[in-house]
C-alpha cells in the first residue's frame, strides 16, 4: 500500500518551496538549423519542457522578463559539416560518455555527423518497451516515469503504448540547452530529458513529450515555409496547448487514483495569477460536473483536457512564451534565407481539422475535437512589444521575398509606424543571432530572455522603452531538499527486451 503520510497541504508547501513561484514556462520549441530554405519542414520544431532543477528556478516575476526560446549556433563538425540541432545536442553530451578505446575513437572520427549522432544515441538512449541500460540512472528515471504513466489507463497508458508502437527512443542527457528539461525530437523519433527534475514534474514532462510524439504520428508537427504567420502560430500554440492540457489530465487521473502530488504540482505552477487560479477552478469543475451528471471517467478526463486547452490561452505568461517561441522559429527561417524561393504566402495552413486532432492519441477520441483557436489579432493585442517584434519579423520576411521597395513592404511599414513600432530600424536578424548564441551559455545567473528584449537592447538610449527596459539577471537558488512524494503506482510490468530499430546512416 502506498504511503499516504504526505497530506495535500504539506505537499503543496513542499512544491511551493521547490518551485519558488516557478514562473509559468511549461514548454519550449527549438528550431533546428538544418537545411535552410527547405520548402517543407518537420524536424525544425522540437517540442520541449523547461528545466525544473534547482539551478533553473527563479523568484516570481513576469515571465517576459525571464525567458526566451533558446536557439543554437550553426555549429560545424571538424569536417566542416553543418550540424542539425539533433546532431548538436548529442555532440554536446558526448564528452560525458566513457572515453572510447583508440580503435573506437578512430572509428568515430571516420563517421559523418549523422552516424556519430546514431552512435551517441545507442550509448544514451533506450527504445520504449525495452529495458534501460544497467546502471544508467537517468534511463532508469525515465523507465520509472513510464511505469507510473502505464498505471493510468485513461491518460498515461495510451501515451506509453503509442510510444512503444512508434519505437520512440528515450534518452537521458547530462546537458540540454539553457532552461530546457525535456524535448521531443521529431527528426530522431526521440524524447530527451535532463537530470534532477522532481518526480511529479519529470513524469508530467514525459506525458507531455509523448503527446508530441502522438501528434507527430498524426502529421501535425510539419509546416510549410510558405505558410503565413497566422498558420504557424496556430500550429505551434495548438499542439503545445494540447500537450500542456495532457499534463492536467494525467494529474487529475492520478489524483482520482489516490496520488494528489501531480495535481498539487500543477496547482503550484498556476497559483500565482488570477487567470491561473481561474484555470485550476474551471479544470477541476469540468471533471466534477461530468461525473455528477453520470458521465464516465474517460469522458470527464477529456473534459479536463478540453477546458485546460481553452483556458491556457488566457494565461499571459503562457501565451507570451509561446508567441515568442514561434517568433524565434520564424526568425530562423528568415535568417537562413528560406523565403528567397517563396513566391506566394499560403493561408489557413493549420486549419480547424488539424486543431481538432491535436489531442488525439492512437485511436482514442481527441479532447480537442470541439475547440476553437483564438483570433490571431486578439493574441497579439495584449503585449505591444510582442506585436512590434512580429511586425518587424514580417517586414523582414517580405523584404526577403519581394525586395525593400515592394508595395506590401511599404504598406506594412506604414502600419507599424502608425502603431509606434520602435523596432523598424533595428537589425532583428542580428538580435535573433545573439539570442541563438546565448542558448548554451549556462553561466550562473544567466537566464533566458524574450527576443524583444534583445531588440530593446539595440534601441538608441533616447527611444528605449520604459517598460521592460532591461533583462533581469537572477542568481540561481541553492539546491533544494528532496520533495516527499506519495507513490501509488504499481511496480513496472516486466518488459521483453527487443533490439532497437536500425536507422540508415545519412
pLDDT digits (tens, 9 = 90+) for 179-230: 678 899 999 999 999 876 789 999 999 999 999 999 999 999 988 999 999 9
| Stretch 387-391: mean pLDDT | 98
pLDDT at 482 over 90: no
pLDDT at 271: 78
pLDDT at 486 over 60: no
Give the other-Cβ count within 10 Å of 54's Cβ. 16
Is the CB of residue 204 less than 8 Å from the CB of residue 262? yes
Integer Cα distance of 266 and 256 in angstroms:
15
| Stretch 243-265: mean pLDDT | 96
Is the CB of residue 408 less than 8 Å from the CB of residue 398? yes
pLDDT at 494: 39
Grid cell at residue 42: 518537420
C-alpha distance from residue 117 to each of 53, 106, 188, 271 (Å): 26, 16, 9, 41
C-alpha distance from residue 490 to each of 2, 188, 201 (Å): 9, 31, 19
Backbone angles phi, psi at 173, to 5 degrees: -115, 140
pLDDT at 99: 78
According to the per-residue pLDDT averaged within each range, which of 131-135, 359-363, 492-496 is highest?
Answer: 359-363
Integer Cα distance of 65 and 348 in angstroms:
32
Backbone angles phi, psi at 76, to 5 degrees: -125, 150
pLDDT at 72 over 70: no
Integer Cα distance of 36 and 333 in angstroms:
7
Integer Cα distance of 158 and 357 in angstroms:
15
Q: What confidence tier does 260 reach under pLDDT thresholds 50, 70, 90?
A: very high
The pTM of the full predicted model, rounded to 2 decimals, is 0.78
Q: What confidence tier does 83 reach under pLDDT thresholds 50, 70, 90?
A: confident
User: What is the chain's Cα-based Rg?
Assistant: 22
pLDDT at 463: 55
| Stretch 264-282: mean pLDDT | 88
Candidate from 28-32, 204-208, 234-238 with smallest mean pLDDT: 28-32
pLDDT at 406 over 70: yes
C-alpha distance from residue 492 to each of 148, 156, 161, 162, 209 (Å): 8, 13, 14, 17, 20
Mean pLDDT of the chain: 78
H helix intervals, 22-155: 85-93, 102-109, 113-124, 137-150
- What percentage of the chain has pLDDT greater than the value 90? 54
Is the CB of residue 115 less than 8 Å from the CB of residue 142? no
Grid cell at residue 468: 521592460
Sign (positive/negative) of CA torsion 352, 391, 342, 429? negative
pLDDT at 215: 97
- Classified as helix, coil or strand, 362 is coil
pLDDT at 47: 54
| Stretch 426-438: mean pLDDT | 91
Amino acid at each position: 500500500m502506498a504511503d499516504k503520510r504526505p497530506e495535500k497541504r504539506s505537499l503543496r508547501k513542499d512544491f511551493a518551496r521547490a518551485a519558488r513561484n516557478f514562473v509559468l514556462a511549461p514548454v519550449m520549441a527549438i528550431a533546428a538549423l538544418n537545411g535552410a530554405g527547405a520548402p517543407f519542414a518537420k524536424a525544425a520544431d522540437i517540442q520541449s519542457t523547461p528545466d525544473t532543477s534547482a539551478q533553473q528556478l527563479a523568484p516570481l516575476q513576469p515571465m517576459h522578463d525571464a525567458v526566451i526560446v533558446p536557439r543554437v549556433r550553426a555549429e560545424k563538425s571538424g569536417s566542416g559539416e553543418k550540424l542539425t540541432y539533433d546532431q548538436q545536442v548529442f555532440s554536446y553530451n558526448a564528452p560525458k560518455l566513457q572515453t572510447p578505446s583508440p580503435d573506437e575513437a578512430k572509428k568515430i572520427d571516420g563517421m559523418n555527423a549523422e552516424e556519430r549522432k546514431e552512435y551517441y544515441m545507442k550509448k544514451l538512449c533506450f527504445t520504449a518497451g525495452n529495458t534501460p541500460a544497467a546502471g544508467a540512472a537517468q534511463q532508469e528515471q525515465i523507465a520509472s516515469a513510464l511505469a507510473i504513466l502505464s498505471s493510468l489507463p485513461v491518460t498515461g497508458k495510451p501515451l506509453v503504448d503509442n510510444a512503444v508502437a512508434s519505437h520512440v527512443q528515450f534518452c537521458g542527457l547530462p546537458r540540454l540547452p539553457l532552461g530546457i528539461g525535456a524535448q521531443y525530437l521529431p527528426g530522431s523519433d526521440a524524447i530527451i530529458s535532463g537530470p534532477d527534475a522532481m518526480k511529479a514534474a519529470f513524469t508530467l514532462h514525459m506525458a507531455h513529450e509523448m503527446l508530441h510524439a502522438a501528434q507527430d504520428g498524426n502529421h501535425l508537427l510539419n509546416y510549410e515555409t510558405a505558410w503565413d504567420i497566422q498558420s504557424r502560430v496556430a500550429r505551434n500554440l495548438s499542439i503545445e496547448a494540447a500537450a500542456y492540457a495532457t499534463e492536467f489530465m494525467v494529474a487529475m487521473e492520478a489524483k482520482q487514483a489516490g496520488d494528489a502530488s501531480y495535481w498539487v504540482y500543477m496547482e503550484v505552477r498556476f497559483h500565482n495569477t488570477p487567470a491561473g487560479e481561474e484555470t485550476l477552478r474551471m479544470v477541476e469543475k469540468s471533471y466534477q460536473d461530468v461525473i455528477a451528471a453520470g458521465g464516465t471517467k474517460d469522458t470527464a478526463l477529456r473534459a479536463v483536457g478540453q477546458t485546460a486547452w481553452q483556458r491556457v490561452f488566457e494565461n499571459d505568461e503562457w501565451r507570451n512564451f509561446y508567441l515568442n517561441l514561434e517568433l524565434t522559429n520564424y526568425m530562423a527561417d528568415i535568417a537562413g534565407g528560406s523565403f528567397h524561393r517563396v513566391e506566394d504566402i499560403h493561408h489557413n495552413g493549420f486549419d480547424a481539422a488539424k486543431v481538432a486532432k491535436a489531442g488525439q492519441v492512437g485511436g482514442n477520441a481527441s479532447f480537442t475535437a470541439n475547440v476553437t483557436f483564438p483570433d490571431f489579432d486578439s493574441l497579439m493585442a495584449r503585449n505591444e512589444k510582442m506585436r512590434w517584434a512580429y511586425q518587424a519579423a514580417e517586414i523582414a520576411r517580405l523584404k526577403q521575398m519581394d525586395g525593400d521597395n515592394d508595395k506590401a513592404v511599404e504598406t506594412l511599414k506604414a502600419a507599424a509606424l502608425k502603431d509606434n513600432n520602435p523596432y523598424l530600424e533595428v537589425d532583428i536578424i542580428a538580435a535573433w543571432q545573439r539570442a541563438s548564441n546565448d542558448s548554451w551559455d549556462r553561466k550562473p545567473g544567466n537566464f533566458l530572455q524574450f527576443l524583444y528584449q534583445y531588440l530593446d537592447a539595440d534601441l538608441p538610449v533616447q527611444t528605449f522603452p520604459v517598460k521592460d527596459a532591461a533583462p533581469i539577471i537572477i542568481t540561481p537558488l541553492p539546491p533544494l531538499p528532496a520533495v516527499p512524494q506519495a507513490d501509488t503506482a504499481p511496480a513496472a510490468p516486466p518488459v521483453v527486451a527487443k533490439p532497437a530499430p536500425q536507422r540508415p546512416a545519412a
